Amino acid sequence: MPSTQDTSFDAIVIGAGFSGLAMLHHFNQIGLRTVVLDSADGVGGTWYWNTYPGARTDSEFYYYSFSFSKEVREEWTWKERYPAQPEVKAYLEFVARRLDLYKDIRFGTTVERAVYDEAANAWTVTTADGQALTATYLVSGMGVLSAPNLPDIPGASTFAGESYHTSRWPRDREVDLRGKRVGVIGLGASGVQLVPVVAETARELFVFQRTPNYVVASSNREVDEQWMAQVKENYDESFERAFDHGFAVPFVKPELGAKDASPEERERVFEQGWAEGGFHFMLETFNDLAVDQESNDHASDFIRRKIRETVTDPATAELLCPKDYPFNGKRPPGGHGYYEAYNRDNVHLIDIKSTPIDEITPEGIVVGGQLYELDVLIFATGFDAMTGTLTRIDIVGRGGEVLREHWADGIKTNLGVSVHGFPNFFMILGPQTPYANLPVAIQAGVGWVADAVEYAREHGIERLESTAEAEQEWADEVRRAGSATIMASGAKANAWFIGANIPGKPLEFNVYMGGADAYFRRCAEVADAGYPGFVSETANA
């Protein structure tokens, strides 16, 4: 067990969530002396911090997990189809214990700066408590949804009541909302999960909506012994199918486009997908919802009909219906009683798109001159996704170039993993990696990085980084793939995957929309060919 006084390692990994734990395990397997640094006091990453009411996965348990450890997958038993935050966090704690990872993790350690020393061919990581750690390899496992987005609303700091952001919900005490007037700003996945749970206890719930979402109902249920046994028996097959799917899920790929089906067949398939819920509606109904406007219109119309059927007040239903962007124009979250919550007498929907917020006062929120008095204000305003964690600290490469400056004119990476000018620096779920089910993408990413590092060590390669040409080629491919999809309209929906939810952030695809399966194949081809597109400096170069 390395001493906490040790400062020199083969690899430093930032983050102890899904990415960091998987990377540590894979580096251990190839004999790298590795330390993981995390500002939290426990493992979990996103699932450590996001403890707000209603927090749970949008993916089902059997593909929101790891397959690389037979021991973990055989010994862990899931309880819910869509696991809630405590269960996901408990799973990651089990992974850390079962794979003996805790000994190599330093909690309560916030990274402030990482600087590459070309002469020493080493990264020096400086922490908030004054530590300076060095390593040949530096890996970001900081996640895609970890840097909170705090909206700049006049008067926000003056609010006299309780104020919370969903991504930094209090961990040391229970937030009692019973009998209180609660306001919620933000209706991405966090807000959609939060609203129906808060509605059950709050005296009055005021939901301030700028952009309505296409929320697909998700039918949650307990995982019984028979289902769990069946999943364990078919883990290998499930993950093989997930790696061969554009969204990295073990789903059946539909063969028919929505516009090519008869009206009766289209309705039947949509109804079946709606009943199955969650990503099944998006991915198992028709094969062209993300690329064909006519087919997408059919899906969008179907969801709007479902909203109008569910919400009893016609005016509220219309406000909840997206009309100026298509289904998939922003990531569609799974809903657990979301639309039904608006049928409660204590829930009020406030349209802040047509009438924006004037200001926040000590008493509450003013919209169009009307004050909504609140006891509690909750910001469910999401994250500076994909790049936020990487640009909020100083990552300094060759010649003193800071990563955020390297991306000032647009994101440039090679496969979302490596950046030109930043030798031996790798990113798990970095910008320009696939828009997909994350644990499967993480598993592919850490495996690729571990193999690349092992290859470099075996071949005497001291520095491994992307070439400028390969970086530009991948940026062009990300742009091309995204432009061919409905997701290109993401700016209209303030979608995080295009950077539209962060004022001043360049509008560009932060993720690869060409399919996780295509991405995995390309990564494998690069590895099999000896890593073309990467600068490989040997010890004798």
For 111-131, how does the pLDDT look when each residue is reduced to its tens digit (9 = 90+)? 999 999 999 999 999 999 999
Residue 2's pLDDT is 45
Residue 150's pLDDT is 84
- C-alpha separations of 99 from 26, 73, 78 in Å: 10, 12, 18
Residue by residue, DSSP assigns 214-259 as -PEE----B--HHHHHHHHHTHHHHHHHHHTSTTSS-PPPP-S-GG
CB 402 within 8 A of CB 480: no
| Residue 502 vs residue 329, higher pLDDT | 329
Residue 537's pLDDT is 63
Structure tokens given for 200: 């059950």
Residue 4's pLDDT is 58
Q: Quick one: average pLDDT of 4-23?
A: 94
Residue by residue, DSSP assigns 352-378 as TTTS-EEEE-SSEEEETTEEEE-SEEE
Q: Quick one: average pLDDT of 197-225?
A: 96
Report the alpha-carbon angle 528-534-535, nearest 5: 130
> Is 443 exposed, middle or buried, given 0-12, 13-18 or 19+ CB atoms closer than 10 A?
buried
Comparing C-alpha atoms, which of 47, 59, 56 is closest to residue 20?
47
pLDDT of 539 > 50? The answer is no
How sure is the predictor about 229, in pLDDT bands with cuts at 50, 70 and 90?
Answer: very high
For 407-461, how does the pLDDT look when each residue is reduced to its tens digit (9 = 90+)? 998 999 999 999 999 999 999 999 999 999 999 999 999 999 999 999 999 999 9
Q: For the stretch 188-197, what's the b/e string if a residue is b when 16 or more beta carbons lie within 10 angstroms of its beta carbon?
A: bbbbbbbbbb
Residue 503's pLDDT is 82
How sure is the predictor about 538, in pLDDT bands with cuts at 50, 70 and 90?
Answer: low
Eight-state DSSP code of residue 394? E
Q: Which domains does the chain have, with CATH numbers?
A: 8-147+385-538 (3.50.50.60), 149-212+333-382 (3.50.50.60)
In whole angstroms, what is the distance from residue 287 CA to residue 275 CA? 18
CB 184 within 8 A of CB 209: no
pLDDT of 239 > 70? The answer is yes
pLDDT of 85 > 70? The answer is yes
For 333-378, how does the pLDDT look when each residue is reduced to its tens digit (9 = 90+)? 999 999 999 999 999 999 999 999 999 999 999 999 999 999 999 9
